[in-house]
Structure 1
Amino acid sequence: MALVTTVAAPSWAIDSDAQAFFAQGRQLRGEGRCTDAILAFRRAFDLYPQGLGALRNIAECEEELGQFASARVSWWSLRRAALQSNEPKYEGWETDAESAYKRLESKVARLTVHLKGEGQAQAELNIDGRPLDPRLLGVEIERDVGPHQLTLTYGGAAPVVRHIELTAGEREAVTLDIPRPVAVTQTPTVKKPGGDEDEPAKGSKAMRIAGIAAMSVGGASAVGAVVSVLLRNAALGEIEETCPDYQGCNPSLESTESRGRTAATLVNVFGAVAIVGVGVGVPLFVLGSRSSSPSAPSAPSSPKSPKAASSLPQLRVGVGPIGGGWAAQIGGKF
C-alpha cells in the first residue's frame, strides 16, 4: 500500500521567491515599465500576502498609469491589510492609504448602466469581457479612464455592443435597449414566373424529351427500312430481268445479289428499331404531356362525347410485307 504525503513548501522558500519577484518589480518600475512591474508585484504579493510593500507599489503604479479606479481599490486593500498587520514597519500605512484613496476620488471615472426592454432577467452584461453583477445595474460604479466595451447578451442571434470612452472625473450613464424577439413565420412559397420547375414538372419534361428522342430514332429507322426495301426490290428486279429462272446466271450478278441480301437484312433491322422506337416514344411523350398539363377542378362524370374522344392522342403502328420484304407503317394523331 503506497502512502502519499503532501508536504507544504517551507516559508523561507516562498519568502525567497516573493522577494525575487518584488526585486524584479522594483527594477521594472525604476525603468518606467509600470505595466510589467504590476505583474511582478502581484506575483510577489500572491506568494507572500504579509509583504504589504508589493501591494503599495501596485497602488502607486496604477496611479501613475492613470488607472484611478484600480488604484483606489488597491489603496483601500492596503489600508485594510495595514490595520490587520502587527509589523512595526507598516505602522502609519493605513493613514497613507486612506489619504490616497480620498485624493483620487475626484479623478476616478464613474459609469452607470441601465437596461431597457423585455427579458432583463435573462440578460447578461459584460464590461471589457468581465460579467457585471446584475445588482450593479443602475448603480454608479468606478471605472478606469480610457476605452471600454459593453456587451449585452439576451438570447438573441447577435449581442448588443456599445463602445465608450471615459475621461478623468467623468460621470457617464448608458442605456442599452434589449431588442424585441422577432416572431418567425413561415411564408408560403410562391413560384416566380420563369423560375425553376418543381420536381413533377421536371419529370414530365424529361419524359417528353425521352419520348421525342425515341420517336426520332424510330422515324429515322422507318425511313431507313423504306430505303432498304427499295434497294432490295431494285436488286431483285435486276436479277429477275437478267436471269429469270435463277439458273446459270452471269457471275457479274453476284454483287447485285449481295446488295439485295444486305438490303433485306437492313429492312429487318430498321423495321424492328422503328417499331420499338415509336412504340416506346409515343407513350412516353403522351404521359409526359398529360403530367405537365395543369390540373383542373373535377367535374361530374359524364359520357365522353365523340369530339372529346377524338381529341385524345391516337397511335397506329403496323408492319406488313411488300415485295418479299417488310415495311413499317406508322400513323397517329396528337
Structure 2
Amino acid sequence: MKTDERILQFFAEHEGEYVSGETLAKALDVSRAAVWKVIKKLIEQGHNITSQRHVGYRYQSGQVLSVPMINQLTKSDWPIRLFDTLDSTNTYAKEALTNGDILEPTMIVANHQTAGRGRLGRQFVSPAETGLYISFALPLEVGTKVVPGLLTTGTAVAVARAIKKTLGIDLEFKWVNDLIFQSFKVGGILTEGVMDFESQGVSAIVVGIGLNLLRPKNLDASLENKVGGMVDKLTVSRNTIVAAIKDEFVALYQTYNAGDFLEAYRMHNIVLDQIVTVKYGRNLVTGTAKSINNQGYLIIDTGDDVITIDSGEVLKVNLPETIYRG
C-alpha cells in the first residue's frame, strides 16, 4: 500500500480527531517530511484535511472517493478498484474478467465516465463528483445458475436500501432496471454476461449501477423531463454511500436466487396495475402490468392474452398523477 493510501487509512480510523505529524510518522514508519509532503498532495486532490499548529492534522469526510475510506466503512472484504475516470465501469469489468485480470468478486468505482451506457447502448450521462458509477465483476464457477431477472431486480432493491440508509429517501423502480425518485429517473442498472469462448457458456456476470446523486447539468433536451437527482446538496460523503451499496449488494448476492427481496421490489414498482407499452426483442406490447413473477419477469394482460416478458424495456407508463414521462 502506498504512503498516501496508508495515511488515508489512518485518518479513516481517526476521522474528526487531530493527529500529530509525529504520530503519523511513527505509525507509518516514515519521516515527518514525508508525512507533510503526502498531506499536501492529498489536500491538492481535494481531501478535506485541516491543520493546527502544535496539535496536528484532522481529516473530515468530503466528496473525494477513497478506497481506504470505503474499506473503513464497509463490512465486506471484496476488493475495490477506484478510478477518477473510465470510459465505462462495465466495459472495464468485462475486459478485466475476459483477460483474467479479475479472478474474484470485485467492485469497480469511477468518479466520472466518458462513455457511460445503459440498456440498448444508450448513453448514461456520468459527470464527475455528482454521481456514482459502480460495477460488480462476478466470476462464476462452472455450472453456476444465473437468473438475470432476479439479479437485476435484486440489485435495485439493494441500492434502494443503501440509499435509504445514507440519504434517507425512498426510491421507486420501473421494471426492470430504472431507479425513480419524485417521478424522475435518478439511476439505472445494467446486467451483462461474459462469454467463455471455449465452453460457449457464461463465465462471469457484470452488474453496473449508475446513480445521479445530484441532477446532471446541461442535459440534452430529450432528457430534461426524465432525468433528476436524489438531493439538492450532498451532505453525506460519497464514500459512505459506496460502502453501503457494497454491503447491501454483497449480502444480496449470496441468496438472490431465492427472490426474498421481490415483495419489496413489487411494493415500490411504478408499473404494476398501470397500462404500459413494453418493447421486447422486435415486438411492442401494450397492456396492463399485472404482476412481477418469482423470476422477476413482467406479466402483461393485453386483453386478448397474458404475456410473460423475461427481458425488455417499458417504453411508456401511463401515470396521470405524476409528471414521469419515461
TM-score by length of 2: 0.19
Q: Does 1 or 2 have the higher relative contact order (CA < 8 Å, sep 6+)?
A: 2
More helix per residue: 1
Which structure has the bigger radius of gyration? 1
TM-score (normalizing by structure 1): 0.19
The structure where strand makes up a greater share of residues is 2
